Structure 1
Amino acid sequence: MKLRSIISAFIILVSLQAVNAQNIDTGNSIVTFEVSNMAFKTVEGSFKGMKGAVKFDENNLSESSFQVCIDAATVNTENEDRDKHLKNEDFFEVETYPEICFTSTSIVKSTSGYTAKGMLKMHGVEKEVEIPFSVKDNTFEGTLVIDRYDYKVGGSGKFMVGREINLKIKSVVKSDSI
């Protein structure tokens, strides 16, 4: 009888976790970026192909998490030659490093919303970052500034491209049910 109760409790817990799981709506999620070019111009672009899982409960942040990746080969600046160059070994090296991923280690409430702390892995380098974000109607929106030198993207010799990259993240999730 006791074993049956334990098994029942386990099944209920697994079911509750599955109900709370949210997958990313790839078609409606995007990461946009801005970077200075030649110190007087700004290049804008985007990445698509976002996938992963989000578990977010504003009443239980300690059990909330993000596991999100984007497809590095989707880089798009609306300039075919530049995009091809960004995909090669001078920058993202998408054949070797096909994804850029973020895995949260904690999520905390902030004065303007929330902050996800975790590890960003890009171009074979993993660094701790903090992403301030807000959430409304199954849409998470956040911002992040990264130093491309930290991730060895473009190398320090690429003076034409700015060092800091401003990112805007929009992740739309859909709830899954059993």
Structure 2
Amino acid sequence: MFFSVRQFPEIRFESDVIDRTDDGFIAHGSFTMCGISKKIDLPIKVVGRNVNPANGKVNLGFTATIVLDRTDFDISYQHKTIPDSIGKDVTVVLNILTRSLEL
């Protein structure tokens, strides 16, 4: 299949450093897809914040979007009868919600 999900069932991002920016953060780290890892800078924006009334802790919502070239990860599939009909760009979108817990 296109992303070889049977062979590579996970797409992973592991950050080394997270820097604060004017409108959020940039996570610097390693993105792995189809068994190939690349260093990327992932821009992250804070999109929501609330305080849990039960414990006073803050819950946050984040979103991150990055466009990657699929051929950098050895995804080279093309339609056989319509060459170049499939673009190289893959848009990765992460929506993250933190939840504070009482330990």
Distance in 1, Cα, partners of 2:3 & 2:17: 27
Higher RCO (C-alpha 8 Å, min separation 6): 1
More strand by share: 2
* TM-fit CA distance, 1:122: 0.5
Contiguous gaps of at least 5 residues in structure 1: 1-87
Range with greater deviation from structure 2 (165-174 or 114-123)? 165-174
Letter in 2 for 1:173: T
Q: CA RMSD in A?
A: 1.4
Distance in 2, Cα, partners of 1:114 & 1:128: 16
Contiguous gaps of at least 5 residues in structure 2: 50-59, 79-83
TM-score (norm 2): 0.75
SS in 1 for 2:68: strand
State whether structure 2 residue 89 is matched by structure 1 residue 164.
Answer: yes
Distance in 2, Cα, partners of 1:112 & 1:105: 20
Letter in 1 for 2:63: E
Could you list the per-position Cα deviations for residues 39-85 of structure 1 after superposition, in whole angstroms to 9, with x for gaps in the alignment? xxxxxxxxxxxxxxxxxxxxxxxxxxxxxxxxxxxxxxxxxxxxxxx
Partner residue in 2 for 1:95: 6
State whether structure 2 residue 68 is matched by structure 1 residue 146.
Answer: yes
Letter in 1 for 2:64: G
* TM-fit CA distance, 1:142: 1.1
* TM-fit CA distance, 1:166: 2.5
Identity %: 29
Partner residue in 2 for 1:27: none
SS in 2 for 1:93: coil
**Number of equivalences:** 87
* 1:32-51 mapped onto 2 (5 Å cutoff): none
SS in 1 for 2:99: strand
Distance in 2, Cα, partners of 1:99 & 1:164: 19
Distance in 2, Cα, partners of 1:108 & 1:131: 10
State whether structure 2 residue 37 is matched by structure 1 residue 112.
Answer: no
SS in 2 for 1:150: helix
State whether structure 2 residue 45 is matched by structure 1 residue 134.
Answer: yes
More helix by share: 1
TM-score (norm 1): 0.46
* TM-fit CA distance, 1:176: 3.2
